[in-house]
Structure 1
Amino acid sequence: MPDFLERLPLRPASSTSSFDNEPVAGPSNGHYIANGHTETNGFRVTIRRVEPEGRGMYPDSTVDREEFVRLVLQGLRDVGYVEAAATLEAESGYTLESSSVADFRDCILTGQWGRVEASLTSLGVVMEEDLRYARFLVCEQKFLEYLENRQLDVALEVLREEITPLQQEAQRTHTLSGLMMCEPKDLYARAQWDGAAGRSRELLLNKLQRYIPSSIMIPPRRLETLLNQARQLQTNACIYHTSGRPFSLYIDHQCDRSEFPLHTTMILADHQDEIWHLAWSHDGTRLATASRDQSVIIWRIGADPNDCALEQRLREHANAISFVAWSPDNSVLLTAAEATIKMWNPKTGLCIKTVLGHEDTVCSLVWRKDGSGFISGGMDQKVLFWDKEGKKLDSLDAIPIRMSSVAISPDERWLVVAGMLANPSKLLVRAESSISSRSQSQSPRNGNGNQNPAFSTKHARFTVYDLQTKEEHASIDMPGEITSVAISGDSKFCLLNHSPDGVMLWSLEEPKLVRKYVGQKQTKHVIRSCFGGPGENFVLSGSEDANVYVWHKESGTPLEILQGHGEGSVNAVAWNPCQEAMFATCSDDHTVRIWGKDPPGFIPSVTDAAMEESLQQPGSAPREAPTLRWDDAREMFL
């Protein structure tokens, strides 16, 4: 046995520590002991306390040693190292929490409600507002448990004598009163509560802990929270982060630029005209591309550049196709051309149904998360709701926006619509109605390729609706035109392509501009941007200068200008949802490009080299490099 352990008479092993000294008031909120004993391998042992100089972890450290030790104690107990925690308590002289905190926790988890309420003030909840709300939470739990046990008289007394006088959350109190006659099975659903035997008491403890000073009662899983924050901080600082694999805490994380998809690995050139939109299937194995040539092509795309094939060509539309959208299970592909929506079986290439309902160009299609239906938005100022069979369910009519984009947040809380603010002027309406279908669904060009005069006084608007109630949450107007909306995976932000300001990041909860991404060119055409990479670390956008622009999302740092497409706009970009280093772009040059990392030993094929050469315009200098670094090109647009 190590010499610092003194063997004492044998006692039965215990899973908890046993100390001779009760906690005494010390320099750190009472979480300090003079010396202690613990049980190891059936022996009661005395642990000599270690007393380093100073209060920091190291002589030059700003990290408080007591906070560090208590966090480690909590982490050890969370993962089941109870004896190790007891030994650390004895050796360091610090305890995780006082006996009053342990008693408070036990009272909640065992339902001793009278003792819980009496303990709140002794644990540092002193602000009257906090104290009243904490008591409300306790009384609410107590009330629901009495209902669960069918003790209706006692529950009614708690409601009248304890909950109502607290005057907290009148609507919630009214809802609680409506639960009095519920059967237990209905109680759980209506109260969104899982019963005394579920996790409700644990959740109550977590809620109450917010009102107790953290120095007295450490928030749950605090060490894990700090480590996750460290990971996220390093991820955000890694401007080329493309690896979704976990990284070690032992060293600082940094991805190399070579890991980023900088190079064209495939060129798809089977369309005969401009390509306006593209979308990956949700399993990342198929890519649908929509073209002005009135066709949609479904491609099979593998990680290997040689694993690529044209699987289906969908041709039944009579007009240019502006949008495609895959169902969540990839069994149905939606396409839009002018006012017509079609539903396709992507495996057979057969049209399932033609869906009619809009009176003007359909600009956007988006599926509900559960696949139960989809939503369409059009320049007829309508948002239509459809079931999965293509039957109309509901609508938002007379929205004052000629929509260019519609999006649903992943949590299905928000519906965002954006486009040009409708002008009541009959003259302007007549001018707009004479513009070509490309002008309506893609870009306001006149016959000479210049901006159409009818659009010189455009004003844009994007509106955020509550998807459940269909009530307007917020609306923002700005000069110019918004051509696309993409919502982040956490449902907190939306990405707007705005002419002439470029790409912007807006928050949704309280709509406000968070960040602008500069450099991209957009004055006349519809350009659609996207989030990309693991954790959506990047923002990508096409541009009217034939380049693809990449920024770091959090910092706004411009990373790359990717060259390769021929003359014309790069109209849309889409990051593969399952390949962490692959995205696709489509252009007016009639091609789609797949971007990725060059695999080991990869040599461009003769076909690829010929394709590159064919994209060069007569008299233009050959493009020798596939990318143009931001620093080298800064003067091009500053």
Structure 2
Amino acid sequence: MQANGAGQDRDSELSCRNGAQNGESSSSEVTNGLLPVTNNGNTVSNNNNGVSAQPASNNTNSPSDVTSGGKKKKRLSQSEEDVIRLIGQHLHDLGLNQTVDLLMQESGCRLEHPSATKFRNHVMEGEWDKAESDLNELKALMHSPSAIVVNNNHNISSCCFQRMKFLLLQQKYLEYLEDGKVLEALQVLRAELTPLKYNTERIHILSGYLMCSHAEDLRAKAEWEGKGTASRTKLLDKLQTYLPPSVMLPPRRLQTLLKQAVELQRERCLYHNTKLDSGLDSVSLLLDHACSRKQFPCYTQQILTEHCNEVWFCKFSNDGTKLATGSKDTTVIVWHVDTETHTLKLMKTLEGHAYGVSYLAWSPDDAYLIACGPDDCSELWLWNVQTGELRTKMSQSHEDSLTSVSWNPDGKRFVTGGQRGQFYQCDLDGNLLDSWEGVRVQCLWCLSDGRTVLASDTHQRIRGYNFEDLTDRNIVQEDHPIMSFTVSKNGRLALLNVATQGVHLWDLQDRVLVRKYQGVTQGFYTIHSCFGGHNEDFIASGSEDHKVYIWHRRSELPIAELTGHTRTVNCVSWNPVLPGLLASASDDGTVRIWGPAPFLDSDIYKPVICSSTCVC
């Protein structure tokens, strides 16, 4: 947040005026330090801050210090003056200029410095010579010890003044060109812009605009709105960022502060899980932001009972329209997700797998699905999801153990491995492209760079392997076995399920443990956790105590414990497109779909149970 002028000399010309007037003569150009206003077409008499100029009085109770009731007016604090100025600026932006006059008159404040007001008016009117003269006046205020502020981590300096002058002259140059005044534009370029010796690369680009044949061509090439209010307002917004707030407030400062306050409240809200209220117009400023737990996916909406044995894995497709579930009963079921009702219907049952299905991976385009089995499984199955056909059944050796798989971002390759020391890279036909010997893989993940593969191994670590230059490096080191892990969309964070420890969050870039999440029961079963929700702000994990735990990423304590399963919850998956939809797979043979509370009364609401006859 920029400095708001607090701590400045209250009697300096930069502060708001309270009490007796300081005797400044009124300007014929401004009202309240802003553009003149009219009343039914008649110009309202102009004065500074809406207060008529009058000589200072030696009387302690001067008229400006006394209310109509004869009581002495309270002297405003610096923060109160700042608030009045913010309100005044916002009212001015809404066009309520007469209201601003009255506010400044009654408060005795000044919205902005007179020199800044002149500068604003001359810029908006396109009087560039006068605006340049005003800028020279403002230069002294910019460098005043009481007016120095930090802008973008740099003190106001001569470089900022040069930047302001350059922007001003650039607008002047472009407007001359649009008006067809090529000679005048050329004079600005040669005699005013070039001598600044600032941003010579930009000057070369500007000179090229001389070749534009018509105004539309100029506006397109310069990415400029053209001569008028829009481009001048945009210019003024840029120029204001270089001026101290005591001289001229940053543009739309009140809105900026309100947005910051709303964003902070959202960040602190443990259940905020939507993108729909990203602007100020969609929220009420009269109440603090608080999402109800009922809006969070804590309630069972559907129970899928199609599998007839333990369900070991579940995973939503990348586009959020399908859910794949794998079971000890050797089947893979693909469910269709209705994005309107958030209900699931059986789409396909993929058969042919000879083992239980312990891991599933969607291709980047969701066209293919790969299934892995338990430790004694030496084969991979790759299906075409749309047709249900088995495209590839891959096995390099009957001695292999292929328990984990991950797709390369190009969708043409994948890596697979297991705890017997296999670590392969293959194509869609199962052909071996590369291999890494002696790595006992527990879990795999391909990073978005297309080169690096993360692999957790039996040495309680995660290492990065580059198949192009055959290099590897240590990234994460734990003190206990890493049963599974997953990586955030941006590739920065990794979520680990650690034996006897629970769920740990690691920063892969800085290679540090960020947080340990409490509550979950994690022994030596393989449990898969996930990131999810809006902006991946949440973390969910199954647990051996039959519950699903959900945490806000910044909080170690769970914000929700979901009950309903009757045995260990092996895997959870959060829909990447629908932040209010969560799936969990359990040894009780069911998959539960979790969502917000139903609109029906909770006493009569019952979850939908989807099942069919199953022969095992």
TM range (shorter): 0.5 to 0.7
The answer to whether 1:29 aligns with 2:14 is yes
Find the counterpart in structure 2 of residue 436 from structure 1. Answer: none
Does the C-alpha gap of structure 1 residues 192 and 334 become closer, same or farther in structure 2, counting only changes over 3 Å? farther
Find the counterpart in structure 2 of residue 485 from structure 1. Answer: 486
**TM-score, normalised with respect to structure 2:** 0.63
The answer to whether 1:197 aligns with 2:218 is no
Shift of 1:574: 1.1
Find the counterpart in structure 1 of residue 80 from structure 2. Answer: 65
Residue from 253, 256, 261 that aligns with 1:222:
253
Cα distance between partner residues in 2 of 1:217 and 1:415: 51
Cα distance between partner residues in 2 of 1:497 and 1:92: 59
Does the C-alpha gap of structure 1 residues 313 and 462 become closer, same or farther in structure 2, counting only changes over 3 Å? same
Find the counterpart in structure 2 of residue 124 from structure 1. Answer: 142
Which secondary structure does the structure 2 equivalent of 1:55 belong to? coil
Shift of 1:40: 3.2
Cα distance between partner residues in 2 of 1:463 and 1:205: 52
Indicate if the aligned counterparts of 1:462 and 1:477 stay in contact, CA closer than 8 A: no
Find the counterpart in structure 2 of residue 267 from structure 1. Answer: 303
Q: For 1:131, give the aligned amino acid.
A: S
**Number of positions where the alignment pairs a residue of Structure 1 with one of Structure 2:** 507
Shift of 1:562: 2.2
Indicate if the aligned counterparts of 2:305 and 2:609 stay in contact, CA closer than 8 A: no
Find the counterpart in structure 1 of residue 370 from structure 2. Answer: 336
Which secondary structure does the structure 2 equivalent of 1:64 belong to? helix
Matches within 5 A, 1:89-104: 89-104=104-119
Find the counterpart in structure 2 of residue 279 from structure 1. Answer: 316
Shift of 1:316: 6.1
Find the counterpart in structure 2 of residue 364 from structure 1. Answer: 406
Find the counterpart in structure 1 of residue 100 from structure 2. Answer: 85
Does the C-alpha gap of structure 1 residues 321 and 206 become closer, same or farther in structure 2, counting only changes over 3 Å? farther
Cα distance between partner residues in 2 of 1:298 and 1:138: 60
Does the C-alpha gap of structure 1 residues 195 and 232 become closer, same or farther in structure 2, counting only changes over 3 Å? closer
Find the counterpart in structure 2 of residue 546 from structure 1. Answer: 546
The answer to whether 1:458 aligns with 2:460 is yes
Cα distance between partner residues in 1 of 2:409 and 2:321: 19
Indicate if the aligned counterparts of 1:486 and 1:529 stay in contact, CA closer than 8 A: no
Which secondary structure does the structure 2 equivalent of 1:134 belong to? helix
Shift of 1:268: 1.0
Matches within 5 A, 1:64-213: 64-105=79-120, 112=128, 118=136, 121-125=139-143, 130-131=156-157, 133-134=159-160, 137=163, 162-163=196-197, 194-195=223-224, 197=226, 206=237, 209-213=240-244
Indicate if the aligned counterparts of 1:334 and 1:365 stay in contact, CA closer than 8 A: no
Which secondary structure does the structure 2 equivalent of 1:484 belong to? strand
Find the counterpart in structure 1 of residue 577 from structure 2. Answer: 577
The answer to whether 1:248 aligns with 2:284 is yes
Q: Deviations over 1:537-577 (max 9, x none)?
A: 53222234432112233343322322332433422331463
Shift of 1:280: 5.1
Does the C-alpha gap of structure 1 residues 566 and 549 become closer, same or farther in structure 2, counting only changes over 3 Å? same
Aligned Cα RMSD in Å?
Answer: 5.6
Which secondary structure does the structure 2 equivalent of 1:540 belong to? strand
Cα distance between partner residues in 1 of 2:371 and 2:545: 26
Q: Greater Rg, structure 1 or structure 2?
A: 2
Does the C-alpha gap of structure 1 residues 41 and 475 become closer, same or farther in structure 2, counting only changes over 3 Å? farther
Cα distance between partner residues in 1 of 2:450 and 2:240: 31
Does the C-alpha gap of structure 1 residues 40 and 303 become closer, same or farther in structure 2, counting only changes over 3 Å? same
Q: Percent identity?
A: 27
Indicate if the aligned counterparts of 1:107 and 1:115 stay in contact, CA closer than 8 A: no
**TM-score, normalised with respect to structure 1:** 0.61
Shift of 1:593: 0.7
The answer to whether 1:496 aligns with 2:514 is no
Q: Deviations over 1:47-97 (max 9, x none)?
A: 6777851324xxxxxx82211111112222333434433443333333332
Shift of 1:506: 5.1
Does the C-alpha gap of structure 1 residues 211 and 526 become closer, same or farther in structure 2, counting only changes over 3 Å? farther
Q: For 2:406, give the aligned amino acid.
A: S
Q: Deviations over 1:256-303 (max 9, x none)?
A: 444443332322122345332311564x55433344655432223459
Q: For 1:459, give the aligned amino acid.
A: R
The answer to whether 1:233 aligns with 2:264 is yes
Q: Deviations over 1:481-520 (max 9, x none)?
A: 38333436xx596352242554344567766554332222
Find the counterpart in structure 2 of residue 595 from structure 1. Answer: 594
Does the C-alpha gap of structure 1 residues 565 and 32 become closer, same or farther in structure 2, counting only changes over 3 Å? same
The answer to whether 1:300 aligns with 2:336 is yes
Shift of 1:181: 7.4
Find the counterpart in structure 1 of residue 74 from structure 2. Answer: 53
Shift of 1:349: 4.2
Cα distance between partner residues in 1 of 2:413 and 2:226: 41
Cα distance between partner residues in 2 of 1:375 and 1:200: 50
Cα distance between partner residues in 2 of 1:311 and 1:591: 17
Which secondary structure does the structure 2 equivalent of 1:558 belong to? coil
Q: For 2:368, give the aligned amino acid.
A: L
Gaps of 5+ in 1: 1-24, 57-62, 167-172, 422-454, 465-469, 612-638
Find the counterpart in structure 2 of residue 562 from structure 1. Answer: 562
Does the C-alpha gap of structure 1 residues 356 and 234 become closer, same or farther in structure 2, counting only changes over 3 Å? same
Gaps of 5+ in 2: 1-9, 52-63, 149-153, 373-378
Q: Deviations over 1:352-371 (max 9, x none)?
A: x6699999766334868xxx
Does the C-alpha gap of structure 1 residues 176 and 254 become closer, same or farther in structure 2, counting only changes over 3 Å? same
Does the C-alpha gap of structure 1 residues 357 and 175 become closer, same or farther in structure 2, counting only changes over 3 Å? farther
Does the C-alpha gap of structure 1 residues 404 and 146 become closer, same or farther in structure 2, counting only changes over 3 Å? farther
Cα distance between partner residues in 2 of 1:201 and 1:343: 59
Does the C-alpha gap of structure 1 residues 216 and 333 become closer, same or farther in structure 2, counting only changes over 3 Å? farther
Cα distance between partner residues in 1 of 2:269 and 2:388: 42
Matches within 5 A, 1:509-520: 513-520=513-520
